[in-house]
Amino acid sequence: MDAFTLVLWALRIGFLICLYLFLALVVRTLWRDLRSAVSTAAPSVGRLIVVASPLGRPEAGTSIPIDAVTSLGGDINNTIVVEDPDVASQHGLLTFRGRAWHLEDRGLGAPMRVNGEPVADATTVHFGDEIGLGRVRLRLERPLERVDP
């Protein structure tokens, strides 16, 4: 076998090696991502993003992981304490039952709104919907697996 054939063979194999080097690096990245997602997974079924909160409770811009039952209101015993003149102490209940989210208004304060529409009694809500109590607006989002630093 002459030298040139050998060089050609090396180039061929070199190309394949480069391809697999690329794949190995990518797979390592994916694996690390998966590992960190598993280790930091929060046991929540959804999140509430505080879109607007004039009085700062809850703080605007924060993301609150929530469980299957979440009560909203001005009283300190609620899961999420909402401070606003129009919010009653026991204002509403957000629950995840079956495969859907439900929002119940306890009828003690101003009606809650979903995407700007007033809620009479109870309604289903979906991820991406915006819940309004008084001047506070919360957006329901899917649970986040991981928050990057």
Positions touching another protein (CB under 8 A) are 4, 7-9, 11-16, 18-23, 25-27, 29-30, 33, 49, 51-52, 54-56, 60-61, 63, 98-100, 124, 126-128, 139, 141-142, 144-148
Q: Sheet harboring 117-118: ordered strands across?
A: 63-66, 46-52, 136-141, 130-133, 113-114, 117-118
Least distance in angstroms from the C-beta of 18 to another protein:
3
Nearer to another protein, 20 or 117 (CB): 20
Q: How far is the CB of 11 from another protein (least distance, A)?
A: 4
User: How many other C-beta atoms lie within 10 A of the C-beta of residue 113?
Assistant: 16
**Half-sphere exposure at residue 93, Cβ-oriented, CA atoms within 13 angstroms:** 12
Closest to another protein by CB, 55 or 110 = 55
Compare residues 18 and 69 and give the one whose CB is closer to another protein: 18
Q: Residue 112 CB, nearest distance to another protein (Å)?
A: 19
Q: Exposed, middle or buried by CB within 10 Å (0-12, 13-18, 19+), for 77?
A: exposed
* Distance separating alpha carbons of residues 86 and 132, to the nearest angstrom: 11
Closer residue to another protein (CB): 7 or 108: 7
Token pair, residue 57, equals: 């409770």
